[in-house]
């Protein structure tokens, strides 16, 4: 059996797992001892206990950091009696663990001989230098401890109860207090010992500090209390607090701070709560209130609240002074001086303030600091009434009367504002003028001051108290001084706001001017102006009217806001407000539209209260008007600003009108130019008419147009062209002069119009065709050129027309241009027809010459026609234009025209020509040149007749040209001429095989023929197989061709 008790090992193993818990537990034990010594309600006992627990926790962590140590055995003997005995039965299994304990742990048998010990406790035993196993307890103990230890162990064995004691002895040369415990077991006794000197010294130090601070707390000259800010409970008080209020300590601990206030006013209590909350968020706060003692006697106290933390919980420490004597002795003079100091301190800040709301807030703060009011409020003048601007008081949930508006004469505030005099009401319930505010039912007295500048009331200051007669003469004087300073500050703010507003207005004027610089047309200028007016004046409506040049009426160019429906509306300048503005040139300002009879249009009022209307004058002429409307009154200053803007706008509109006129006239010129170019580019009458109609519809913005041409041979109008009609079929194509509107236009040679067929006074009825097309407006214009009637131009629109003067001018210009175009086209068509007849005569003559040559030389019959067709085809393939091909064709037809100058004896000689005859034969290109050159229209065709016998190598005639010196047309013809001569049957020779001809022509390339033309020729032959064959020439002719 192991001599070491198993129970000890079990206890030590379990507690070594929880060092911090056991450390804290030991600290709590000490705390309980302190509480037993002093009252449990003493806050300083709790503070001291907390310090001890914290110290024990720190030691627990310290021991835990050094390994698994059984702190519980050193700090708590009372909780380990049972566990310690159990450890003795498990000595072997946990022997190593037990040896690591800091306290001395020693096992003795029944004879008090040592059976086991841990080396860590060696400093509490007598050092024998060797193992102490088997030695008696008296031998191993320090001097002065042996007798006491032996006594405790014997009593423990005898009584079988744990024995404890603390003994002072010298250890290491210093006096220490050793704490022992003896734990009996059937095998002997176990001794546990540790040094308790430091713990007892710390406990005495803490106890001394606790007594010291408790003495300071209780003996303080000021009343001190600890307050729970959340629940309002009083947690602790000192003796001075009990003395000041006359309650016992136990009674005060059952009360709240509200019970310390003399009044039960809800607002006073709310103000106290606000101070408490402010202490938690902003720091220490000072508050004065009227308290009451146990006998109900009121007295003034000054309380300084400071936040502290007890056991981690926020608490308020309140230091209280009785200031009743100070308040009583200072009197009104001292009170006024104090209030004036507060007012003076804020006066400099008030005059520097430039924000209305911030000024009101600052005034409220100064009033609350200087007076005993529970609510202070500022009302600003606005539209003849007084609107609440700033203030405090009331519940925490709803501390401000926001949105309150008071009319003059309403309540004390309204009466003061109406009379311009301050009002001091010591008891509002006795004042007939008093009107209670919602949320302020506990008001008992009120002080009201008007803030005046001259005779104008700018604002009203109102102070209220829950006590009757709360305001005295010092309050009256102090508030009067503050109100004077506020009046100066308000004047500064108004001046600043006026300056800011004028600056803003100037910026808007600059912005309008800048925006107008980029706007060129009237459609761009007008929206910019109206949008700027709405923004600048906070207007609910804006509009601009411009003069109609035909009727002199004013037409709304564009409306904004409430006046959008007026866009396009006409106003007569003979009556109403428009008459005053336009005819008299006077600006109109009306702030009572609802009570004014408006002759111009009921829509002008449109639920608006005010209207400002000014004229737009440019070059001393009224060109339009500018108006704004608003649901609030407009001032004279705003009217002057509008007049200034009107001058800028008039210049911009005049500039835009000039630009529009220039643009319009440019478009007219371009339109007329388009018609001229159409006549020049294409002389087809039908195309010209459609171009004219298209320009009419585009430039005049009408739905349809038609042209009826006059036929002199029949004396009738014929419908020739039309655009914009829904139906393609026109029911009537011919009109006699005087028939229908168009016939009347032609007969009378003047413009006829119908602005609205649907009007009762329409001069002409609407035909069935017009009704089907939905035509409502009509204009008919005679087209006359050089005194001759060309026809009638008809213009149609499917809505009523109200044309301007410039529109009518453009319409007449287009009709004149159309007449000229039709006249020119007809003249050109007649001229073109004559020219075509002449050209046909020329071509017939040329073909006749070619046939005459073939008739003279039967051997080449059909040759001219074939080579002409093939030459034209090849020239087209090689990039010749149609105009050039005309001359190529003529040259090919007349290529041998010069042979007319060759004698028949040489031309038809059956045999070979001699040298002299060849010289004559080679002159036939020269004869061709001499024959054709005098004819102007045949000069471009001379290249083939004059140069088709030139050779690529320069050995040809008549000039001996070489390579590309030879005209391309002549080079093309040379290849075709050889091909036709060899592939055509002649009376004296059969045609060659095609391949033989190909080879022969390839041999002539780079010698007689242009190789590039040869390549192009065969490419054409290969891709255009329909080239055909002609009869073969005679051999003699072929021979001549080769020689040539």
* pLDDT (tens digit per residue) in 336-349: 566 666 666 666 67
Position 770 scores a pLDDT of 87
Q: How confident is the model at residue 973 (pLDDT cuts 50, 70, 90)?
A: very high
CATH class for the region spanning 6-203: alpha beta
Could you tell me whether strands 554-561 and 570-571 are parallel, antiparallel, or unpaired per DSSP bridges? antiparallel
Average pLDDT of every residue of the chain: 78
- Give residue limits of the domains in the chain: 6-203, 220-322, 329-499, 519-663, 682-831, 857-1043
Position 171 scores a pLDDT of 67
Residue 786 has pLDDT above 50, yes or no: yes
Geometric angle at alpha carbon 379, from 373 and 383, rounded to 5°: 165
Average pLDDT over residues 447-463: 90
Position 415 scores a pLDDT of 92
Collapsed DSSP state (helix, strand, coil) of residue 942: coil
Residue 852 has pLDDT above 80, yes or no: no
> Does CATH place domain 519-663 in 3.40.50.720?
no
Q: How confident is the model at residue 83 (pLDDT cuts 50, 70, 90)?
A: very low
Residue 978 has pLDDT above 80, yes or no: yes
Residue 497 has pLDDT above 80, yes or no: no
Average pLDDT over residues 146-152: 81
Position 1014 scores a pLDDT of 94
Q: How far apart are CA 877 and CA 1015, in angstroms?
A: 12
Question: Highest-confidence range of 127-131, 247-251, 859-863, by mean pLDDT?
Answer: 247-251
Position 76 scores a pLDDT of 39
Question: Highest-confidence range of 171-185, 861-875, 877-891, by mean pLDDT?
Answer: 877-891
Average pLDDT over residues 785-811: 87
Contact 56, 27 (CB under 8 A): yes
CATH superfamily of 329-499: GAF domain (3.30.450.40)
Name the E strands within 413-476: 423-425, 445-453, 456-465
Position 11 scores a pLDDT of 47
Contact 291, 301 (CB under 8 A): yes
Q: How confident is the model at residue 948 (pLDDT cuts 50, 70, 90)?
A: very high
Q: How far apart are CA 532 and CA 530, in angstroms?
A: 5
Q: Which residue has the higher pLDDT, 640 or 519?
A: 640
Q: What is the pLDDT of residues 20-51, one digit of tens each?
A: 555 555 556 555 555 555 444 455 555 665 66
Write down the architecture of domain 220-322 according to CATH. Answer: 2-Layer Sandwich (3.30)
Q: Which residue has the higher pLDDT, 315 or 843?
A: 315
Backbone Cα Rg of the chain: 64
Position 102 scores a pLDDT of 56
Cα torsion through 198, 201, 206, 210, rounded to 10: 170
Name the E strands within 533-640: 541-547, 554-561, 570-571, 588-590, 610-618, 621-630
Residue 643 has pLDDT above 60, yes or no: yes
Average pLDDT over residues 949-958: 93
Task: Tell me whether the CATH fold assigned to 220-322 matches the one assigned to 857-1043.
Answer: no
- H or E, element range at 405: strand 405-406
Domain spanning 857-1043 has what CATH number? Answer: 1.10.3210.10
Q: How confident is the model at residue 675 (pLDDT cuts 50, 70, 90)?
A: low
- Global pTM value: 0.34
Record the tokens describing residue 935, joined without a space: 């004819």
Contact 810, 700 (CB under 8 A): yes
Average pLDDT over residues 805-810: 81
The CATH number fitting domain 682-831, selected from 3.40.50.1820, 3.40.640.10, 3.40.50.300, 3.30.450.40: 3.30.450.40
Residue 74 has pLDDT above 50, yes or no: no
Position 45 scores a pLDDT of 53
Contact 987, 1005 (CB under 8 A): no
Position 123 scores a pLDDT of 60
Average pLDDT over residues 745-769: 88
Query: Can you tell me which residue has the tokens 């003896």?
Result: 182
- pLDDT over 90 percentage in the chain: 14
Collapsed DSSP state (helix, strand, coil) of residue 356: helix
Residue 456 has pLDDT above 50, yes or no: yes
Collapsed DSSP state (helix, strand, coil) of residue 132: coil
Position 77 scores a pLDDT of 39
Position 909 scores a pLDDT of 81
């Amino acid at each position: 059996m192991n001599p070491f008790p198993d129970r000890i090992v079990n206890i030590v193993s379990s507690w070594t797992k929880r060092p911090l818990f056991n450390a804290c537990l030991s600290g709590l034990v000490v705390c309980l001892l302190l509480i037993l010594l002093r009252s449990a309600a003493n806050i300083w006992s709790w503070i001291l206990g907390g310090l001890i627990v914290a110290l024990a926790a720190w030691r627990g962590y310290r021991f835990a950091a050094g390994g698994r140590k059984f702190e519980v055995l050193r700090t708590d003997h009372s909780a380990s009696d049972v566990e310690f005995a159990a450890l003795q039965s498990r000595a072997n299994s946990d022997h190593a663990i037990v040896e690591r304990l800091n306290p001395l742990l020693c096992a003795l048998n029944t004879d008090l001989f040592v059976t086991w010990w841990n080396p860590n406790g060696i400093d509490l035993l007598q050092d024998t230098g060797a193992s102490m196993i088997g030695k008696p307890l008296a031998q191993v103990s320090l001097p002065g401890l042996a007798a006491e230890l032996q006594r405790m162990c014997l009593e423990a064995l005898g009584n079988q109860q744990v024995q404890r004691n603390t003994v002072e002895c010298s250890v290491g040369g210093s006096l220490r207090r050793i704490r022992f415990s003896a734990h009996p077991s059937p095998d002997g006794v176990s001794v546990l010992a540790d040094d308790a000197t430091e713990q007892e010294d710390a406990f005495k130090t803490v106890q001394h500090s606790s007594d010291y601070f408790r003495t300071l707390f209780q003996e303080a000259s000021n009343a001190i209390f600890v307050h729970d800010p959340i629940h309002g409970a009083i947690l602790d008080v000192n003796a001075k607090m009990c003395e000041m209020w006359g309650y016992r300590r136990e009674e005060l601990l059952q009360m709240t701070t509200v019970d310390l206030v003399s009044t039960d006013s809800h607002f006073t209590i709310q103000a106290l709560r606000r101070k408490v909350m402010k202490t938690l968020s902003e720091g220490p706060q000072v508050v004065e209130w009227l308290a009451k003692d146990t006998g109900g006697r009121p007295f003034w106290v000054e309380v300084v609240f400071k936040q502290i933390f007890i056991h981690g919980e926020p608490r308020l420490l309140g230091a209280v002074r009785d200031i009743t004597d100070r308040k009583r002795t200072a009197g009104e003079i001292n009170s006024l001086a104090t209030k004036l100091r507060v007012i003076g301190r804020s006066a400099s800040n008030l005059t520097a303030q430039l924000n209305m709301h911030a000024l009101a807030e600052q005034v409220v703060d100064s009033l609350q600091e200087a007076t005993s009011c529970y609510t202070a409020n500022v009302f600003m003048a606005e539209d003849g009434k007084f609107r609440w601007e700033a203030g405090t008081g009331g519940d925490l949930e709803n501390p401000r009367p926001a949105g309150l508006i008071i009319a003059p004469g309403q309540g004390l505030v309204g009466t003061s504002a109406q009379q311009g005099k301050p009002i001091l009401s010591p008891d509002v319930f006795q004042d007939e003028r008093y009107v209670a505010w919602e949320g302020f039912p506990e008001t008992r007295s009120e002080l009201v001051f008007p803030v005046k500048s001259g005779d104008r009331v700018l604002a009203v200051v109102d102070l209220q108290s829950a006590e009757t007669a709360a305001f005295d003469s010092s309050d009256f004087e102090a508030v009067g001084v503050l109100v004077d300073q506020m009046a100066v500050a308000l004047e500064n703010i108004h001046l600043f706001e006026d300056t800011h507003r004028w600056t803003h207005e100037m910026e808007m004027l600059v912005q309008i001017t800048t925006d107008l610089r980029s706007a060129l047309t009237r459609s761009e200028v007008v929206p910019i102006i109206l949008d700027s007016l709405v923004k600048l004046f906070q207007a609910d409506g804006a509009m601009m009217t411009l003069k109609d040049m035909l009727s002199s009426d004013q037409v709304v160019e564009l409306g904004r806001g409430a006046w959008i429906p007026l866009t396009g509306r006409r106003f007569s300048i003979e009556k109403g407000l428009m008459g005053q503005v336009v005819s008299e040139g006077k600006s109109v300002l009306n702030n009572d539209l609802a009570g004014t009879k408006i002759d111009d249009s009921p829509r002008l009022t449109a639920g608006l209260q005010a209207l400002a209307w000014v004229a737009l004058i440019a070059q001393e002429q009224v060109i339009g008007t500018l108006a704004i409307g608003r649901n609030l009154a407009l001032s004279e200053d705003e009217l002057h600003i509008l007049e200034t803007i009107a001058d800028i706008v008039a210049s911009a509109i005049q500039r835009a009108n000039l630009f529009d006129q220039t643009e319009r006239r440019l478009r007219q010129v371009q339109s007329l130019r388009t018609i001229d170019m159409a006549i020049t580019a294409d002389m087809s009458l039908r195309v010209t008419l459609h171009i004219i109609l298209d320009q009419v519809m585009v430039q005049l913005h009408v739905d349809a147009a038609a042209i009826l041409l006059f036929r002199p041979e029949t004396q009738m109008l014929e419908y020739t062209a039309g655009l914009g009609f829904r139906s393609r079929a026109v029911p009537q194509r011919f009109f006699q002069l005087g028939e229908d509107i168009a016939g009347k236009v032609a007969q009378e040679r003047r413009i006829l119009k119908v602005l609205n067929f649907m009007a009762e006074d329409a001069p002409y009825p609407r035909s069935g065709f017009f009704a089907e097309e939905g035509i409502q407006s009509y204009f008919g214009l005679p087209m006359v050129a050089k005194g001759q009637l060309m026809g009638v131009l008809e213009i149609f629109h499917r809505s009523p027309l109200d044309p301007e003067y410039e529109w009518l001018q453009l319409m007449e210009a287009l009709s004149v241009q159309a007449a000229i175009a039709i006249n020119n086209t007809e003249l050109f068509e007649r001229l073109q027809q004559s020219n075509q007849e002449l050209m046909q005569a020329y071509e017939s003559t040329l073909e006749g010459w070619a046939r005459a040559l073939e008739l003279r030389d039967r051997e080449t019959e059909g040759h001219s026609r074939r080579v002409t067709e093939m030459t034209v085809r090849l020239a087209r393939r090689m990039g010749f234009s149609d105009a050039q091909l005309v001359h190529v064709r003529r040259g090919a037809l007349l290529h041998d025209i010069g042979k007319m100058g060759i004698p028949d004896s040489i031309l038809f000689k059956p045999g070979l020509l001699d040298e002299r005859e060849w010289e004559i034969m080679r002159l036939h290109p020269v004869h061709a040149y001499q024959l054709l050159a005098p004819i102007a229209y045949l000069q471009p065709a001379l290249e083939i007749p004059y140069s088709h016998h030139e050779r690529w190598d320069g050995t040809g005639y008549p000039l001996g040209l070489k390579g590309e010196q030879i005209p391309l047309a002549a080079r093309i013809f040379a290849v075709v001429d050889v091909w036709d001569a060899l592939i055509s049957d002649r009376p004296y020779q059969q045609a060659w095989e095609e391949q033989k001809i190909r080879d022969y022509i390839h041999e002539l390339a780079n010698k007689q023929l242009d190789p590039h033309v040869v390549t192009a020729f065969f490419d054409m032959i290969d891709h255009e197989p329909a080239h055909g064959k002609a009869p073969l020439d005679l051999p003699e002719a072929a021979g001549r061709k080769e020689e040539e």
